[in-house]
């Protein structure tokens, strides 16, 4: 068995030495893989996979492959590349020269609220709370998401991880535009002091590859 890490161009720069990697090439694409490690899934193992993908991202365009994707051997890898060549080549062109940045927007700064608001009891309270949440979301879309999306090739809203999150989004940003994008986040933070903006990345473009 082999573990899969990324799909990239062939030829490409030498593989990083962070793991015993090899590349299976077919028709201008390469699938980067390594012998499957039979270990228990843990945060450390997941981070190790991400570390390999990020090392690959430093000097090449890629379609990251999520942890746990395996094939029988390199013959199967070459066959998969051949069968999905057009689809994968199109996906790689979509993210070529770009990386992913993540932005999360919280409705209050840490320490501004000591306790969560009480859950609504009556139907009227529920509707008022729902309306207030919708209004807050629309405001954040106008004041934060739209300005950031205009600086990205593509953007995608993601599911919130916390009840205080008003926005969680991923942005596909040209590598050369990462610094201006981060500076725009800082300006938006200054212009919206009641919000807390958290920008992370650059990351491999997981949200824009379908892999």
Q: What whole-number distance in Å separates Cα of residue 4 and Cα of residue 24?
A: 10
CB 72 within 8 A of CB 63: no
The pTM (predicted TM-score) of the whole model is 0.85
Instruction: Supply the pLDDT for residue 11.
Output: 94
The Cα 185–Cα 48 span in angstroms is 29
State the residue for tokens 């932005």. 103
Quote the pLDDT of residue 33. 97
Residue pLDDT tens, the chain, 211 long: 999 999 999 999 999 999 999 999 998 999 999 999 888 889 999 999 999 999 999 999 999 999 999 999 999 999 999 999 999 999 999 999 999 999 999 985 344 444 455 655 676 645 554 445 555 567 898 999 999 999 999 999 998 888 789 999 999 999 999 999 999 999 999 999 999 999 999 999 999 986 4
Check residue 119 and give its pLDDT: 59
- pLDDT reported for residue 136: 59
Q: Domains of the chain (ranges plus CATH)?
A: 2-95 (no CATH), 98-208 (3.30.70)
Q: How much is the pLDDT for 60?
A: 97
């Amino acid at each position: 068995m082999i573990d899969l890490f990324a799909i990239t161009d062939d030829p490409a720069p030498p593989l990083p030495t962070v793991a015993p990697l090899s590349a299976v090439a077919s028709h201008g694409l390469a699938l980067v893989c390594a012998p499957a490690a039979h270990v228990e899934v843990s945060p450390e193992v997941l981070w190790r996979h991400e570390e390999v993908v990020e090392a690959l991202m430093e000097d090449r365009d890629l379609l990251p492959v999520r942890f746990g994707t395996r094939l029988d051997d390199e013959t199967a890898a070459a066959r998969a590349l051949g069968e999905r060549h057009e689809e994968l080549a199109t996906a790689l062109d979509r993210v070529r020269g770009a990386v992913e940045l993540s932005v999360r927007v919280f409705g209050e700064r840490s320490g501004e609220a000591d306790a969560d608001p009480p859950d609504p009891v009556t139907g009227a309270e529920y509707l008022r709370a729902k309306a207030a949440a919708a209004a807050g979301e629309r405001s954040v879309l106008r004041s934060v998401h739209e300005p950031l999306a205009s600086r990205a090739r593509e953007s995608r809203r993601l599911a919130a991880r916390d009840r205080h999150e008003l926005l969680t989004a991923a942005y596909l940003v040209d590598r050369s535009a990462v610094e201006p994008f981060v500076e725009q986040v800082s300006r938006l933070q200054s212009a919206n002091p009641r919000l807390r903006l958290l920008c992370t990345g650059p990351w491999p473009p997981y949200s824009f590859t379908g892999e």
